Amino acid sequence: MGMTMTQKILAAHAGLDSVEAGQLISAKLDIVLGNDITTPVAVNEFNKAGFTEVFDKDRVAIVLDHFVPNKDIKAAEQSKTCRDFACTHCVSHFYDVGKMGIEHALLPEQGVVTAGDCIIGADSHTCTYGALGAFSTGVGSTDMAAGMATGTAWFKVPSAIRFNLTGKLSADCSGKDVILTIIGMIGVDGALYKSMEFVGKGVHTLSMDDRLCICNMAIEAGAKNGIFPVDDVTLAYLDGRSERMPVVYEADADALYEQQIDIDLSQIVPTVSCPHLPENTRPAAELGGVKIDQVVIGSCTNGRMEDMEIAYQTLRGKKIADGVRCIIIPATMKIYKECVEKGYVSAFIDAGAVVSTPTCGPCLGGYMGILAAGEVCIATTNRNFVGRMGHVDSKVYLASPATAAASALTGYITAPQEVQS
């Protein structure tokens, strides 16, 4: 029996000719990732286990992004632990204030991850890098500690669901609408511990930013990972960027999938996930009566350059509705700088928004946009659980940058086409 893309990558990193779903393996790692919340826990476990050095200083990445610049003393202490560890072990991929960005936007941008890699990260949205044709998945801090020390991790080989994409998205839609639609179809456990493999003629119509967004939210369907085939779009993105030569794996023609789900991209509409689960989706056009207090455009899901461009095209020359707080967070310093150079930041400020240094901040209810009781936010983030962005009596709606920006202008959840001039 043939293998899926994910199974081929895992087999290669386990030194095996083949693997099958359910098999337990030990695989070599290309990158081990942590952030300012999860790395201190991993450092503690690393030291408790008696480890004295990392397996490869160039294969460990530590990104300070959740509470950086530090919001309080506890955040400062966590960051100091990361700084001390990175310095002690000469970690080359250490990203602090001035260099940092939101980890899952930063690592692809900097070429730290590439096609064919096997990657673990102590953050659930590590599955983002499947957009590059890599196997990447989130793990706990203990597994991160073991990975940093040994350069290996154990996995149960996942089975797979094949998502056959056809057609092309309308101008109002993006990758966020695709993945919200899919999660609405299959549910938050619809791909539990499975690989979500995206294939078909529609793939080439999706930008790299679309693909990164789609894979980022694979975990919201319970998936072990999401993955796209490596095509000309992927190779163009990786060219001159990747630290290592990309390795391209293709699924076998007789690879075994648990099911195939056909998605016609031309039928996707602007979609919103309502409180309090990502699977609770409805077309944005049906939610016009929902009044909002806050808009957040950013995060590891939607803080990339295309997202900033969409926000700019929607907001320039207009004014954000009275009573609405609009927070825009470019995902990396490079993206932030490009927004400054292109005049996007000035346009955002003129519209009445605030622009933040790169941070996860409000996404996890950390800082830079905490909600009070009864407040409603529409955000381009990835989770809308009870209390996710603040008070347990607040509500978060998930949407694309186009829908979020349109809603900022009206003060109500608004489909993008309703504000286009």
Residue 112 lies in domain = 5-264
Residue 389 sits in the same domain as residue 256? no
Dist CA 49 CA 166 (whole Å) = 50
* Domain stop point among 214, 231, 264: 264
Contact of 190 with 183, CB cutoff 8 Å: yes
Residue 287 sits in the same domain as residue 241? no
Dist CA 70 CA 64 (whole Å) = 9
Mean pLDDT for back-to-back runs of 10 residues, the chain (421 residues):
95 97 98 97 96 97 95 96 97 94 97 98 97 97 97 97 98 97 96 97 97 98 98 96 95 95 97 96 95 98 97 97 97 97 98 96 93 98 94 97 98 90 52
User: Which residues lie below 8 Å from residue 68, measured CB to CB, with a gap of 6+?
Assistant: 36, 75, 79, 96, 97, 100, 359
Residue 133 sits in the same domain as residue 100? yes
For residue 421, tell me if it sits in a domain: no
Count, residues in the chain: 421
Residue 332 sits in the same domain as residue 407? yes
Q: How far is CA 196 from CA 69, 157, 226, 341, in A?
A: 35, 13, 5, 37
Please state the domain count of the chain.
Answer: 2
Residue 282 sits in the same domain as residue 257? no
| pLDDT reported for residue 418 | 83
| pLDDT reported for residue 421 | 52
Residue 290 sits in the same domain as residue 189? no
* Domain stop point among 264, 295, 312: 264
Instruction: Check which CATH number belongs to the domain holding 299 and give it.
Output: 3.30.499.10
Residue 228 sits in the same domain as residue 188? yes
* Domain stop point among 217, 239, 264: 264
For residue 65, tell me if it sits in a domain: yes
